Amino acid sequence: MQVIVVVNREASFCEALEERGCLIVMNELAEEGMASSIRRGVSAACTLKASGVVLMTCDQVGLEVGHLLGLLADPGRIAGSGYAGRVGIPAYFPAAKFGDLLVLHGDIGARELLKGGRIVVDERLAVDVDTEDDLAKLFRQ
Tell me: the pLDDT tens digits for 55-98?
999 888 889 999 999 999 999 999 999 999 999 999 999 999 99
User: What's the CATH number where 128 sits?
Assistant: 3.90.550.10
CA atoms in the 13 A half-sphere facing the CB of 73? 14
More confident residue, 54 or 10: 54
What is the number of structural domains in the chain?
1
Q: Please give the average per-residue pLDDT across 111-137, as a whole number.
A: 89
Distance CA 140, CA 27 (A): 35
pLDDT at 119 (0 to 100):
98
* Residue 109 Cα distances to 37, 46, 87, angstroms: 9, 18, 12
pLDDT at 138 (0 to 100):
75
Query: Could you tell me the pLDDT band of residue 117, with boundaries at 50, 70 and 90?
Result: very high
Strand partners, 4: 23
pTM: 0.90
- Say yes or no to pLDDT of 25 above 80: yes
More confident residue, 41 or 10: 41
Q: Which of 75, 67, 76, 81 is nearest to 109 (CA)?
A: 81
C-alpha angle with apex 117: 115 to 120, nearest 5 degrees?
115
pLDDT at 104 (0 to 100):
95
Task: Quote the domain boundaries for residue 73.
Answer: 4-140
Q: Please give the average per-residue pLDDT across 3-23, as a whole number.
A: 91
Mean pLDDT of the residues in the chain: 92
pLDDT at 141 (0 to 100):
66
